[in-house]
């Protein structure tokens, strides 16, 4: 009785020939995809770096002018209702309890509001903060409500501008809600 | 932007209606209503925009006074009438809702 000899395994060369192509194809595809991904990330990041640099350059050149346009001076100055820019120490005159950092935050936040309304908001914030010294909730509450406040202000400003653009139609209401 | 009669708005109106001729500044109003200035301020802006309230800066010299100028708010004549109507309507509504609630509890019990 001859022993059953198991069928010989396929030749390794045959296995290699069978699997080599798909494996190579998959590996190449992965490599290409990864390479493209990395290149695109690199390009995006370099674009981001370039754009960041350009933004800094732009801000360096025009930032002060833009800040002046919005009524904000970024060099430790605060804006004051009634126009004009006065240094923080002169404005406060010892009666402001908020640190200068908060004033900067208030000034920056107020720059998204219409100009006069922003000045008024900062003035009222100054009053609130002075009257409730040490109560950070007041300042925090004002800052949290700033988007809503800005929306209300812009709505008022836009409707005022629309009324001014239609003088005959809405003359009676003109100036009612201008920001004093 | 129509004025929505929320509880907070009604609280502000009620505080202003206590003495319609009296001027209140922001923090005083916050203390009377129990609202944070951050909540009361947009409401006052809306009321002012609707013409219910007028405001003015206090005419003081901050350096001489030793404090910043306050912004005073006061109901206008038309605003006072509208505010009274709104507050009275809210009271009626609240009373009606409470009575309905009580009736509902009585019915279920």
pLDDT in tens, A21-40: 777 777 777 777 777 777 77
pLDDT given at position B1:
59
Instruction: Cite the beta strand spans of A75-144 per DSSP E.
Output: 77-79, 85-87
> Residue A160 above 60 pLDDT?
yes
B68 shares contact with chain A (CB less than 8 Å): yes
Quick one: pLDDT band at residue A61, thresholds 50, 70, 90? low
Question: Which stretches of chain B drop beneath a pLDDT of 70?
Answer: 1-2, 98-99, 102, 104-109
Chain B residues closer than 8 Å to A159 by CB: 49
> Residue A133 above 80 pLDDT?
no
Alpha-carbon gap, residue A126 to A148, rounded angstroms: 19
> Residue A64 above 80 pLDDT?
no
Instruction: Cite the beta strand spans of A44-161 per DSSP E.
Output: 77-79, 85-87
The percent of residues above 70 in pLDDT, for chain A, comes to: 52
pLDDT given at position B56:
92
> Residue A76 above 60 pLDDT?
no
Chain B residues closer than 8 Å to A143 by CB: 38
Alpha-carbon gap, residue A44 to A37, rounded angstroms: 10
Closest CA–CA distance from residue B108 to any residue of chain A (Å): 42
> Residue B74 phi/psi, 5° resolution?
-150, 150
Is A149 in Cβ contact with B45 (below 8 Å)? yes
Is A177 in Cβ contact with B68 (below 8 Å)? no
Report residue A143 as tokens: 């800052």
The arithmetic mean of pLDDT across residues A130-157, rounded, is 84
* pTM score above 0.80: no
Highest mean pLDDT among A58-62, A79-83, B23-27: B23-27
Quick one: pLDDT band at residue A86, thresholds 50, 70, 90? very low
> Residue A13 above 60 pLDDT?
yes
pLDDT given at position A42:
74
User: Count of A–B CB contacts within 8 Å?
Assistant: 82
Alpha-carbon dihedral angle through residues A145, A146, A148, A153, given to the nearest 10 degrees: 140
Mutate to test the interface with B, among A128, A136, A163 (most CBs of B within 10 A): A128
The ipTM estimated for the assembled molecules is: 0.78
pLDDT given at position B109:
43
CB proximity under 8 Å: B 16-55 to A: 25-27, 36-39, 41-42, 45-46, 48-49, 51, 55
Is A132 in Cβ contact with B27 (below 8 Å)? yes
> Residue A15 phi/psi, 5° resolution?
-60, -45
Closest CA–CA distance from residue B93 to any residue of chain A (Å): 28
What residue in A sits closest to B1 (Cα-Cα)? Answer: A155
């Amino acid at each position: 009785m001859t022993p059953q000899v198991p069928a010989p395994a396929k030749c390794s060369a045959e296995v290699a020939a069978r699997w080599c192509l798909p494996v190579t194809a998959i590996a190449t595809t992965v490599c290409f995809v990864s390479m493209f991904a990395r290149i695109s990330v690199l390009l995006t990041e370099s674009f981001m770096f370039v754009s960041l640099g350009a933004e800094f350059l732009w801000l360096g050149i025009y930032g002060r002018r833009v800040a002046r346009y919005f009524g904000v001076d970024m060099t430790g100055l605060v804006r004051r209702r009634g126009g004009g820019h006065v240094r923080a120490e002169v404005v406060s005159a010892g009666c402001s309890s908020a640190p200068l950092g908060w004033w900067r935050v208030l000034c920056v936040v107020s720059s998204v509001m219409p100009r006069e309304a922003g000045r008024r908001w900062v003035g009222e914030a100054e009053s609130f903060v002075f009257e409730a010294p040490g109560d950070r909730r007041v300042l925090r509450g004002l800052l949290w409500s700033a988007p809503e406040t800005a929306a209300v202000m812009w709505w008022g400003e836009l409707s005022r501008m629309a009324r001014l653009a239609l003088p005959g139609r809405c003359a009676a209401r003109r100036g009612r809600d201008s920001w004093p | 932007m129509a004025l929505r009669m929320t509880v907070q708005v009604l609280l502000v109106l009620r505080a202003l209606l206590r003495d319609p001729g009296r001027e209140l500044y922001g923090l005083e109003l916050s203390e009377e209503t129990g609202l944070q200035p951050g909540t009361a301020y947009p409401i006052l802006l809306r009321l002012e925009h609707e013409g219910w309230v007028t405001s003015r800066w206090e005419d003081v010299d901050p350096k001489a006074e030793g404090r910043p100028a306050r912004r005073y708010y006061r109901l206008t004549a038309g605003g006072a009438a509208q505010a009274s109507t709104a507050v009275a309507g809210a009271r009626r509504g609240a009373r009606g809702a409470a009575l309905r609630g009580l009736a509902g509890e009585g019915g279920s019990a």
